[in-house]
Amino acid sequence: MTDDPRAAAAGGPSLFDALYEGENAVVRMLRAGVSAESVDEDGASALYLAAVSDRPGVVRLLLAAGADPDRACGPESGDLPLCGAACGGHTEVVEALLAAGARPDLREQFGFTALRWAVGLGHARTAEVLLAYGADPCLPGPEGESPLLLAARRGSSPTVRALLRHGAGAPEGAVEEALGEARRMLDTDLEQELRSGLRELYGDTGAHEIVVRRTVVDGGETLTAELVRDGRPAAGRDQQTGHGAIATVLERELGLVAPFEELARRALRTASPELDNWRASAEALCARGDEETRQAAAAWCAADDPLLRAFGAEVLARLGTPAPPGTGALPP
Q: 130 and 16 in one domain?
A: yes
Shared-domain flag, residues 10 and 130: yes
Residue at which a domain ends, from 136, 168, 200: 136
Tell me what pLDDT residue 207 has: 81
Q: Are residues 9 and 130 in the same domain?
A: yes
**What is the predicted pLDDT for the residue at 205?**
76
Residue 9 lies in a domain: yes
119 belongs to a structural domain = yes
> Mean of the per-residue pLDDT values for the chain?
91
Question: Once rounded to an integer, what is the mean pLDDT over residues 143-163?
Answer: 97
Write out pLDDT tens, residues 282-331.
Answer: 999 999 888 999 999 999 999 999 999 999 999 999 987 665 555 444 33
* Whether residues 71 and 106 fall in one domain: yes
Residue 115: per-residue pLDDT: 98
Is 13 part of a structural domain of the chain?
Answer: yes
* 178 strand-pairing partners: none
Indicate which CATH number applies to the domain containing 25. 1.25.40.20
Report pLDDT for 3: 53
Domain total of the chain: 3
DSSP 23-69: HHHHHHHHHTT--TT-B-TTS-BHHHHHHHTT-HHHHHHHHHTT--T
pLDDT tens digits for 253-267?
999 999 999 999 999
pLDDT one-digit tens code per residue, 102-147: 999 999 989 999 999 999 999 999 999 999 999 999 999 999 999 9
Q: Is residue 69 part of a domain?
A: yes
Same domain, 86 and 131: yes
Q: Would you say residue 10 has pLDDT above 50?
A: no
Instruction: Note the pLDDT tens digit of each residue in 215-248.
Output: 998 889 999 999 999 889 999 999 999 999 999 9
Q: With 50 as the cut, is the pLDDT of residue 9 above it?
A: no
- From CA 108, how far away is CA 279, in angstroms rounded? 38
Nearest to 319 by CA among 290, 277, 281, 278: 290
Q: Is the pLDDT of residue 6 over 50?
A: no
Q: How many CB atoms lie within 10 A of CB 216?
A: 13
Q: What confidence tier does 169 reach under pLDDT thresholds 50, 70, 90?
A: confident
- Nearest partner of 149 among 186, 120, 192, judged by Cα: 120
131 plus 11 within the same structural domain = yes
Question: How large is the average pLDDT for residues 151-160?
Answer: 97
Q: Mean pLDDT across the stretch 9-30?
A: 84
In a domain, 45, yes or no: yes
Residue 36 to residues 167, 243, 324, Cα–Cα distance (Å): 37, 44, 47
Residue range(s) defining the domain that contains residue 300? 257-318
Nearest to 47 by CA among 19, 21, 75, 27: 19
